Structure 1
Amino acid sequence: MESLVKHKPFLIILSFFLLGWLIATPSGLLGKADAIGYAVCHRLDIRSFHLGVRQLPLCARCTGLYLGAIIGVLFQLFNRERRAGKPSKLIIFILILFGVTYFFDGFNSYIHLFPIDPKFYLYEPNNVLRIFTGAGMGLSISFVLIPVFHQTMWKKWSPTPSIETSRFLMVLGITGVINILVISENPLILYPVALLSAFSVILILTIVYSLMWVLLVGLENHFYSYRSMTFVVLVGFLTAMVQITLFDFVRYYFTGTWEGFFFH
């Protein structure tokens, strides 16, 4: 831990990035959520769900991805046993299938952006397919990321499968219900979904960068509680915000707008 604490000037620099981002981005909670989505998503209006006339911070596919990811993360992250073993072959197969359908539907959706002969289109894409394939991919990411997190961070972790089939089915059910609620575009649902999906972006990036810093400074299997890794997570969070700030700056520099990309 001392190797990280020694870099306080670096931490201060990271904090200035966060402050600059807070000042420069659109005001309000939804404005900040939009700025987070702006850093990781194309935000095409036609491929997004809408809160009234306002599109969500992330497109339909990314909304599904980050909702699926945060659901999967929460089901695993606070497990007292810190399970990090491989799940059953059935679950692994389903997660791989989720990944395949994500890229297949994404490719089909992508080629629809171009005015080519319709015979090359596989099928007509829609936001229902986007959110469900995105959610499946988000779950797949979470069931890889969190076992890696447990194995890397904790002094003691369990080789027990990260999730049992019964709990996995519960996760699928919850994710499916949330997706259906989002598809309804009920404002009472979409407002918290907008904030939750944006928070999920920060959460996933924070976990990834926390792992990166732990590996860089040689603190693997060093922690015994979440409280003991507070500083590492803080550095991971600030690094995530640096990425978001830089991506926002570059995109805004070239487009001059906080709106999503536009295709004729």
Structure 2
Amino acid sequence: MRFWICHRRPDRTFSIRGRYFPVCSRCTGVYIGAFSYFLIAYFTPIKYTLNLVVMAILITTPMILDGFTQLLGLRESNNLLRLLTGLLAGLGLGILTKALKFYILTWWVC
């Protein structure tokens, strides 16, 4: 069976007492990272500058590299590394999402 949101492979998914998370460790990190950023952004005023957008792209890169090197068979990642790179990517994607929203709303109002 093929899943569109996450592959949910048991060997790449965290489990507690034999019960698996609904998504893999990388997706778990992405969701936690993005949710954390949205909470931070809700309570803290943030200026979406070009530097912040570039930083968001840079902190998303480790997950992309980890995923592609694993996909190509160059190496095998572990769940902790997947979680950590997912957390960084989640933060980066949260920043990019909010920055895009900010620039669209700024353009729309002007």
> Which TM bucket (shorter chain)?
0.7 to 0.9
Unpaired stretches in structure 1, ≥5 consecutive residues = 1-37, 113-120, 158-219, 222-264
1:135 maps onto 2:87 in alignment: yes
Is the 1:102–1:133 Cα contact (8 Å) retained in structure 2? yes
For residue 146 of structure 1, the aligned residue among 91, 98, 108 is 98
Aligned residue pairs total: 106
Which residue pairs with 1:75 in the alignment?
40
User: One-letter code of the match for 1:86?
Assistant: T
SS at match of 1:85: coil
Describe how 1:13-92 pairs up with structure 2 within 5 A.
Answer: 39-79=4-44, 81=45, 83-86=46-49, 89=51
TM-score by length of 2: 0.78
Equivalent AA in structure 2 for residue 55 of structure 1: Y
Q: Distance in 2 between matches of 1:125 and 1:51?
A: 20
Deviation at 1:102, TM superposition (A): 1.1
- 1:152-205 Cα offsets, whole Å, 9 max, x none, are 44xxx7xxxxxxxxxxxxxxxxxxxxxxxxxxxxxxxxxxxxxxxxxxxxxxxx
1:188-207, aligned counterparts within 5 Å?
none
Aligned residue identity for 2:92: S
When Rg is computed on C-alpha atoms for both structures, the one with the higher figure is 1
Structure 2 CA distance for partners of 1:92 and 1:151, relative to 1, 3 Å: closer
Asked whether the equivalents of residues 53 and 99 of structure 2 are also in contact (C-alpha less than 8 Å), the reply is: no
Q: What are the residue-to-residue correspondences of 1:1-264 with 2, within 5 Å?
A: 39-79=4-44, 81=45, 83-86=46-49, 89=51, 94-112=55-73, 121=74, 123-153=75-105, 220-221=108-109
CA–CA separation in structure 2 for the residues paired with 1:146 and 1:77: 10
Correspondence for 1:176: none
Aligned with 1:143: secondary structure? helix
For 1:68 and 1:147, locate their aligned partners in 2 and report how far apart those are by CA, in whole Å. Answer: 16
Contact kept, 8 Å, 1:84 with 1:146, in 2: the verdict is no
CA-atom RMSD in angstroms: 2.4
- Gapped regions of structure 2 (runs ≥ 5): none
For 1:137 and 1:109, locate their aligned partners in 2 and report how far apart those are by CA, in whole Å.
16
Q: Deviations over 1:215-242 (max 9, x none)?
A: xxxxx44xxxxxxxxxxxxxxxxxxxxx
User: Cα–Cα, structure 1 residues 151 and 50, in superposed 2: closer, same or farther, change >3 Å?
Assistant: same
CA deviation profile, 1:74-125 (whole Å, cap 9, x unmatched)? 111344x5x44316x4x5554333222111100122234xxxxxxxx2x331
